[in-house]
Amino acid sequence: MTDSFFLPDPDIPDPDDAFSSAPLRLTIDLGALADNWRDMARRSGKARAASVVKADAYGVGIEDAGQTLYHAGARDFFVAVPEEGVTLRPHAPEARIFVLSGVWPGTEHLFFEHDLVPVIASEEQLAFWMATVSEHGDHPCALHVDTGFNRLGLPLEEALHLAEDVSRPASFSPVLVLSHLACADDPASPMNRQQLEAFRSLSAAFEGIESSLAASAGTFLGSDYHFDLTRPGIALYGGEAVKGVANPMRPVVTAEARILQIREAKKGQVVSYGASHALSRDSRLAIVAAGYADGYLRNLSGHGVALRQTGLAGAQGFIAGHKVPIVGRITMDMTIFDVTDLPPDAIQAGDYIELFGTNMPVDDVARAAGTIGYELLTGLGLRYERRYLDAE
């Protein structure tokens, strides 16, 4: 009997080859994602920890992230729009999936067909949902109440009136009431306690119905804020949740870009658009295949953008054990790093610079642009080749 074997199909690219040759690439550590959820579940104490997977799971990929978090133990998920819930459903078959934007005419069939839970946030949505369930039959919903954020949610007074209204339809029986903290990333803010007290009155009014107030940062505020369900988001993906506190979460996403060229430039020569940066020494410059079209924000530039005129330094990359600064303006497809201080043989064209990740925390990079890690993660462009490191 002869041994049998399969020859690789030449028309199907090897994903490992695609990753190793890609101009831009992301390494996504699903094991770290699962560990971060377990960490937040532990910090949630007696409350259950949900998983927020909106915006394509903060850029990670909702299918892979959802499946990983479900296998880690998450049974409650939050998405922004019903289409995200439809995508998630096959990967979290027994989970409750809450849709934060609620339900609107033309989308109601998605909630029934895919067992999604609308989060009702206004009188208009409430009226429409009551009409919908009267026609299609009972279906769970949640109620979002504003406790001071002034963004989304039924006003607190109206929600309390609704809770006491004996004439409200029996079909309106929310499975969850929730609100959102405005300043949870600042533990010293008095706004946290003000919203907590308001939410306590809401939770008491809807006695017997589960309550949820804390997202990632709120979970770190302690057990007073946990209620029945916490809603960690950015912490799952390795981002900072609280200002001024060492981030305990494991990094999940590492973004890298290939060096297209290393060039020599003389002292006094200028770099990139606008000639905004003149070199103060003879320099070696690494031209890298990442730009603002890839979510590598223009405000990360070393020079020549409005934010830099405030005196803040631009961002850095990481290569060969060293941090290297951006010089000149970031362009649509390329960024220039000053690699003069690296040994001449330390790097070459084709090598990869880490834009953010295990050596360059995403929030440190974001601060250089005057923004937050959320924006870098959710703004990742379409040109990254992805490699997923499986959870155990």
Task: Let me know if 273 is a catalytic residue.
Answer: yes
Block residue for tokens 């941090």: 323
**Which residues does the annotation place in the binding site for substrate?**
151, 332
- How long is the chain? 392
Domain ranges in the chain are: 44-237, 253-389
Task: Let me know if 243 is a catalytic residue.
Answer: no
Q: Thinking of the domain 253-389, which architecture would CATH place it in?
A: Beta Barrel (2.40)
**pLDDT value at residue 101:** 97
**Which residues does the annotation place in the binding site?**
151, 332
Q: Thinking of the domain 44-237, which architecture would CATH place it in?
A: Alpha-Beta Barrel (3.20)
| Phi and psi at residue 6, to the nearest 5° | -110, 135
Structure token pair of residue 127: 């009226």
pLDDT in tens, the chain (392 residues): 334 444 455 555 565 689 999 999 999 999 999 999 999 999 999 999 999 999 999 999 999 999 999 999 999 999 999 999 999 999 999 999 999 999 999 999 999 999 999 999 999 999 999 999 988 889 999 999 999 999 999 999 999 999 998 777 777 789 999 999 999 999 999 999 999 999 999 999 999 999 999 999 999 999 999 999 999 999 999 999 999 999 999 999 999 999 999 999 999 999 999 998 999 999 999 999 999 999 999 999 988 888 766 677 889 999 999 999 999 999 999 999 999 999 989 999 999 999 999 999 999 999 999 999 999 999 999 999 999 999 77
CA 138 to chain centre: 33
* Catalytic residue, candidates 46, 266, 273, 296: 273
**pLDDT value at residue 223:** 98
Q: Do domains 44-237 and 253-389 have the same CATH topology?
A: no
SS (H, E, C) 166-201: CCCCCCCCCCEEECCCCCCCCCCCHHHHHHHHHHHH
- Rounded CA separation 257/122 (Å): 44
End-to-end CA distance of the chain: 37
**pLDDT value at residue 14:** 63
- This model's pTM is above 0.85: yes
**pLDDT value at residue 302:** 86
* Catalytic residue, candidates 54, 237, 296, 374: 54
